[in-house]
Structure 1
Amino acid sequence: MTNRRLGAWLLTRRRERALTQQQLAAEVGVHQTRVSHWERGSRLPNAEQLQALAELFGANVETLMAEFFVDNDVERALISDAMLHEDDKTALLTLYRTAARRSSEG
């Protein structure tokens, strides 16, 4: 779900700026196929790439994370913690989600 919503947002922003996938890829520093994966929802950008996308499209990275990556209050608290570096937030979210998924599986 998150992947597709972010992909739709990215596709819309790219088209509003009349950018090709190749041009967007060059702006962010990735290969064109990576942009294609993001837009189709098969992959997500990492923290550095998300920051670059936010800057390019005039968005706040924390707002993007809250909109596309937060599923509950624990995740919201991790993202909004001003004491954590962005890479640490991403790592902690990954750990939390892995643990939550494992506990729900039994």
Structure 2
Amino acid sequence: MSQQELGKEKGVSLTIIGNYEIDLNMPSLETVLKLSKLFGVSVDFLMGEFDKEVVRRIEDIEILDKGTQNHLFFLIDNVIQNYKIRQAFA
């Protein structure tokens, strides 16, 4: 989504959106909550509080071909399923 599209979606100017990105202005808490819902991310993520190692790994996965991604997701799903089963019987 471009800054212009975001500004139109939220009813604010392109300048305000740009100023948010370069830390000249800070959005209100209400705006941060709306943005987190719009993008489907946590407020912490929007504020830069996230695990950079996890993001790096996701970026690495994104460059893999679809077949390799699907294989990796299959493995991850199995590990998660096994973990949940162990937790259920712990």
| TM-score, with length taken from structure 2 | 0.46
Please identify the structure whose Cα radius of gyration is greater: 2
Give the number of the structure with larger relative contact order, counting CA–CA contacts within 8 Å between residues 6 or more apart.
1
| TM-score, with length taken from structure 1 | 0.40
